[in-house]
Amino acid sequence: MNKTFALKTSIIVAAMLALPVVHAAGMSKADFNAAKTRIEADHKADRAACDSLAGNGKDVCVEQAKGKEKVARAELDASYSGKPDDRNKLLVVRAETAYAVAKEKCDDKAGNDKDVCVKEAKAAETKALADARMSKATGAAAREATADKREADLKVALEKCDALSGDAKASCVADAKAKFGKG
C-alpha cells in the first residue's frame, strides 16, 4: 500500500514536471491574455465536474482542479516572462499543489496509515521544494537540500516504526536512524 502510494505520487510529480512549458519567444500580450482566459474556463469546467461527487472524492477533485489552475498560471507566467525566477516559482507551485492533493487523499485513511500517508506526502513536497532550491542555487543550497531530503525520509521511516511495538519498534527505529545517518 505505501509503495503503491509512493509510486502514484512519483508518477503524479513526474507528470506535472513533464508538462510542456511554452517559451516566451513569440508570445504576445494578446496570446498571454487568451491563455489566461482559457485557464480560467478550464478551471470552471474542472470545478463543475467535481459537483457530481461527494465526500472526500469531491474534496480531492476540487483540490486537483485548484492545483491544475495554479500550475497552468505559473507555467503561463514562466513562459511569458522567460525569467529564471518565474521558472523556479513554477517548480514551487508544482510541489505545493502536488502536496495539497496528496494530503487531501490521505483523509480517506485513519490511524497510522493516515499518519504515514501525510508524512509521505510531506516528504515528497520537501524533496520537490529542495529540488527547486537546487535548481536556483548550488553549493551550500545543494547540501541543505540533500539534508532536507534525508530528514524527510527519516521522518517517514520513523512514522512507519510507530505501528510496531517492543523490540521490533526499537530495531526499526535503530535501522532507520542508521540508514539515514542519524545514529
**According to the model, what pLDDT value does residue 20 have?**
44
Tell me: the pLDDT tens digits for 106-149? Answer: 998 999 999 999 999 999 999 988 888 877 765 456 677 888 89
CA angle 72, 73, 75 (to 5 degrees): 65
Q: Is the pLDDT of residue 1 over 80?
A: no
> Of 19-23, 70-74, 102-106, which range is least confident?
19-23
Tell me: the pLDDT tens digits for 14-48? Answer: 444 444 444 444 578 899 999 999 999 999 999 99
CB distance 71 to 19 below 8 Å:
yes
CA nearest 63: which of 22, 12, 27? 12
User: Distance between CA atoms of 118 and 99, rounded to whole angstroms?
Assistant: 9
Tell me: the pLDDT tens digits for 88-102? Answer: 899 999 999 999 999
Tell me which residue range forms the domain holding 115.
2-179
Burial of residue 124, with CB atoms counted within 10 A of its CB: 0-12 exposed, 13-18 middle, 19 or more buried? buried
Q: Please give the biggest Cα pair distance in the chain.
A: 66
Distant-in-sequence, close-in-space partners of 129: CB < 8 Å, separation ≥ 6 = 92, 95, 96, 148
**According to the model, what pLDDT value does residue 15 have?**
47
CA angle 66, 116, 126 (to 5 degrees): 55
What is the average pLDDT value for the chain, to the nearest integer?
83
**According to the model, what pLDDT value does residue 144 have?**
79
pTM for the whole structure: 0.62
Total count of domains within the chain: 1
* Higher-scoring residue by pLDDT: 9, 149: 149
CB distance 67 to 97 below 8 Å:
yes
